[in-house]
Structure 1
Amino acid sequence: MHVFAAPPVLKEMLLYASKWNKLDTEDQEQTVFLKALLNSLPNFCNESRFLEIPVPEDHRLIPVCDYINSHYQESFNVSDMADLAKMSVRSLQRIFKEQTGITLQKYGQLIRILKSVELIDTRQYTLSEIAFKIGYKSLSAFTSSYASIMKEAPKAKKDIIF
């Protein structure tokens, strides 16, 4: 999965398309428009910075990822994660890194940052509120983590697509 900043033209195209009715019959104009949008998406992805969340193929790791995705605001215990995966801590850490290219801790950080991007987009919370909602103990810790992933400081408004 990739999350990236949406250029204004892409945002407007998606907003335009989202207003269409979901009809069972095919509309020629909508089909042409959506095909153009679909053909352009790779270019938007290549031109933009994005956040990539790796997904492991090993089925034993899926409960671990599901748990982290559902409990991102909490600290997790690697031993508990190993129990979920039905393997030793060492095997979990090794296999997770092989499958995703990142550690469990980095995966948790990416999920938190992804959630923060969603919350920033709602424009309902301050950055401090978002930091605490996603499990950081301080705004500075959140800001540092966000900047290390997104290569910029968090801002109160962000145009993104999921």
Structure 2
Amino acid sequence: MSLIASLPDIDKRPESVFVMHERSEKYIPNHKHTKGQLSYVEGGIAYLDIGNQRYVIPARHYFWIPTGLSHVLKIGHSGTVLRSLFFYTHDDNTSPFYSQMGIYPINDLLMQMIKYSEPWDGHILPGDNRFLFLSAIKNILPEISSKKIPFALPFTEHERMLPILRYLEKNIGDTHSLESISHRFGMSERSLSRLFQQTLNMSFLQYLKLLRMVRSIELMLQTNLSLSEIAYTVGYQSLASFSSTFLKLTNYRPSDFKKEK
């Protein structure tokens, strides 16, 4: 059964852990659970839309979504396997981790534990030895989940911003400035600057940097381009400048993502 088809069943047994491993649909519309969700993205890349933020989940990363948080899930590659465990919430007050959305690099221990559950499906209930194993996964999450990916790309449905954002995404490798974009879209620099702050809560240059970082992660995971080629593709004239910006914004070196492809 697919994740979309399973959505009504996940919360039917509050005391259980609901297990699902699948080659996921490309788009799972806005939904929420009364259970906490742990999902490991195996291969490819995935995206989470929460409110007006778009989070990028690279391969070999997992995410935690707390109870009751509405989200949209998009899969960027048809071969991506989404391994998901939906947990009971009666002990969520034991750690702040369980109440916070986060994306984290997976370690070998957690990856092997999640993969071990691959033959299982649906509700695993207390009293089952498999439940004890799954509970151990939940219990170690606060301890091992310390290196959170620290940024998200904001988005908006504002009608004046949509064509601007589409243009930047399509022409990401070009040289852009507040002056050039304001001229192209027939507004003053001050008006464009204010529009970015009002709709995205950040400056034009901040958004452009984030957009380039998101696009670079996609290229690292989905192509065979070298880091120098990726830097140039997303608008940087040198690998050093690109690497420095990437490290400042993500706390990772670009090679950390490239080697995990």
> 5+ residue gaps in structure 1?
18-32
Out of 153, 166, 179, the position equivalent to 1:53 is 153
| Separation in 2, partners of 1:58, 1:9 | 31
**In the TM superposition, what is the alpha-carbon distance from 1:115 to its structure 2 partner?**
1.0
**Aligned mates of 2:62, 2:179 — CA distance in 1:** 46
Does the CA contact (< 8 Å) of 2:182 and 2:188 recur in 1? Answer: yes
TM-score, with length taken from structure 1: 0.69
1:22 aligns with: none
Q: TM-score, normalised by structure 2?
A: 0.45
Instruction: Find the aligned partners of 2:189 and 2:222 in 1 and give their Cα distance.
Output: 37
Moved more, 47-56 or 142-151: 47-56
Match of 2:228 in 1: 128
Identity %: 24
Match of 1:89 in 2: 189
Aligned equivalents of 1:9, 1:45: Cα separation in 2? 6
Secondary structure at 2:174 match in 1: coil
For the pair 1:98 / 2:198, whether they are aligned, the reply is: yes
Task: Return the match for 1:112 from 203, 212, 215.
Answer: 212
- Structure having the higher strand fraction is 2
Structure having the larger proportion of residues in helix: 1
State the SS of the aligned residue for 2:56. Answer: strand
Equivalences for 1:8-87 in 2 at 5 Å? 15-16=80-81, 36=86, 45=103, 47=145, 48-83=148-183, 85-87=185-187
Task: Tell me, in whole angstroms, the C-alpha distance in 2 between the residues paired with 1:84 and 1:62.
Answer: 14
The answer to whether the Cα contact below 8 Å between 2:58 and 2:221 also exists between their aligned partners in 1 is no
Tell me the number of residue pairs that the alignment of Structure 1 and Structure 2 aligns: 139
8 A contact 1:2–1:50 mirrored in 2: no
Q: Does 1:2 align with 2:102?
A: no
Query: 1:58 Cα deviation (Å)?
Result: 2.6
Letter matched to residue 157 of structure 1 = K
Unaligned runs of at least 5 residues, structure 2: 1-53, 64-78, 88-97, 105-144
Q: Please tell me the root mean square deviation across aligned C-alpha atoms, in Å.
A: 3.2
SS in structure 2 opposite 1:4?
strand
Higher relative contact order, chain-length normalized (CA < 8 Å, sep 6+) = 1
